[in-house]
Amino acid sequence: MSSTSPSVIAGSYKDPAGFVFTQNKEIYRQINQDYSAAYETIKSSGLFEKLWEKRWLVKHIEANDVIADTSLHYKTLKAEKIPMITYPYEWSFLMFRKAAVFTLELQEFCLSQGFSLKDATPFNVQFIGTDPVWIDTLSFEPADPSKPWIAYQQFLQTQLYPLLVHESNPSLKFDLLLQNLNGIKADLTATLLPRRKKLSLSYWMYVYLAKAVNKHTADGTTQKAASPAFTLQKQLNILRHLKSYVQSLKAPSLKVSWKNYYQNHIETAAYTEEKLRLLKEYIPFTETHQFGLDLGANTGKYSDLLHEKNYYVLSSDFDINCIDEYYTQCHKNNKKSIQPFLFDLAHPTPAVGFANEERSSISERLSGKVKITLALALIHHLRVTYNLPLHKVAAYFANITEELIIEFVPQTDAKYMALTAHRSDTFPDYTEINFEKAFGDFFQLHQKSVVKPSQRVLYYLKKK
Amino acid sequence: MNYLLYIDPGSGSLLIQAIIAAIVGALFYFKNAWFYVKNFFVKLFKKSTSNQQSEL
List, as one string, the DSSP characters of A10-70: GGGTT-TTEEEEEETTEEEEEEEGGGHHHHHHHHHHTHHHHHHHTT-B--EEE-TT--S-T
Q: Is the pLDDT of residue B55 over 50?
A: no
In chain B, the number of structural domains is 1
Q: What angle (nearest 5°) sits at the alpha carbon of residue A140, between those of residues A87 and A10? A: 40
User: DSSP for A317-384?
Assistant: ES-HHHHHHHHHHHHHTT-TTEEEEE--TTSPPPPBSGGGTSB--HHHHHTTTEEEEEE-S-HHIIII
Task: Provide the shortest C-alpha distance from residue A186 to chain B (in Å).
Answer: 12
Exposure string over A12-29, b if 16+ CB within 10 A, otherwise e: beebebbbbbebeeebbb
**Is there a domain that residue B13 lies in?**
no
Q: What is the pLDDT of residues A241-284, one digit of tens each?
A: 999 999 999 888 654 555 555 555 556 788 999 999 999 999 99
Polymer length of chain B: 56
Polymer length of chain A: 464
- Domain membership of residue B35 as a residue range: 25-56
* Residue A385 CB neighbour total at 10 angstroms: 12
Contact A238 B4 (CB under 8 A): no
Q: What is the pLDDT of residue B39?
A: 84
> Cα A199 vs. chain centroid, distance in angstroms?
32
Q: What SS3 state is found at A295? A: strand
Task: Provide the shortest C-alpha distance from residue A206 to chain B (in Å).
Answer: 8
A211: nearest CA partner in chain B: B12
Q: What is the pLDDT of residue A240?
A: 95
Q: What is the pLDDT of residue B6?
A: 45
> Cα A127 vs. chain centroid, distance in angstroms?
7
Q: What is the pLDDT of residues B30-49, one digit of tens each?
A: 888 888 888 888 888 776 65
Nearest to A224 among B3, B11, B27 (CB): B11
Spatial contact of A341 and A319, defined as CB atoms under 8 Å apart: no
**Is there a domain that residue B37 lies in?**
yes
For the four alpha carbons of A20, A140, A98 and A288, in that order, the dihedral sign comes to: positive
Which residues partner with A444 through β-bridges? A462
- Residues of A within 8 A of B26 (CB-CB) are none
**Is there a domain that residue B20 lies in?**
no
**Is there a domain that residue B3 lies in?**
no
Contact A218 B20 (CB under 8 A): no
Spatial contact of A410 and A435, defined as CB atoms under 8 Å apart: no
Element (H, E) at A461: strand A457-463
Spatial contact of A30 and A21, defined as CB atoms under 8 Å apart: yes
Contact A224 B8 (CB under 8 A): yes
Contact B24 A230 (CB under 8 A): no
Q: Is the pLDDT of residue A403 over 50?
A: yes
Q: What is the pLDDT of residues A63-88, one digit of tens each?
A: 988 888 888 899 999 999 999 999 99
Average pLDDT, chain A: 91
Q: Is the pLDDT of residue A191 over 90?
A: yes
Contact B21 A237 (CB under 8 A): yes
Whole-angstrom distance, CA of residue A111 vs CA of residue A121? 18
Query: From the DSSP assignment, how many helices (H) and strands (E) are in chain B?
Result: 1, 0
Q: Is the pLDDT of residue B15 over 90?
A: no
Q: Is A244 on the interface with B (CB under 8 A)?
A: no
ipTM of the prediction:
0.71
Q: Is the pLDDT of residue A329 over 90?
A: yes
Contact B13 A228 (CB under 8 A): no
**Is there a domain that residue B31 lies in?**
yes
**Is there a domain that residue B51 lies in?**
yes
**Is there a domain that residue B33 lies in?**
yes
Q: What is the pLDDT of residues A422-446, one digit of tens each?
A: 888 888 999 999 999 999 999 999 9
Q: What is the pLDDT of residue A337?
A: 94
Whole-angstrom distance, CA of residue B45 vs CA of residue B26? 28
Q: What is the pLDDT of residue A462?
A: 97
Q: Is B15 on the interface with A (CB under 8 A)?
A: yes
DSSP-derived pairing of the beta strands A401-408 and A291-295: unpaired
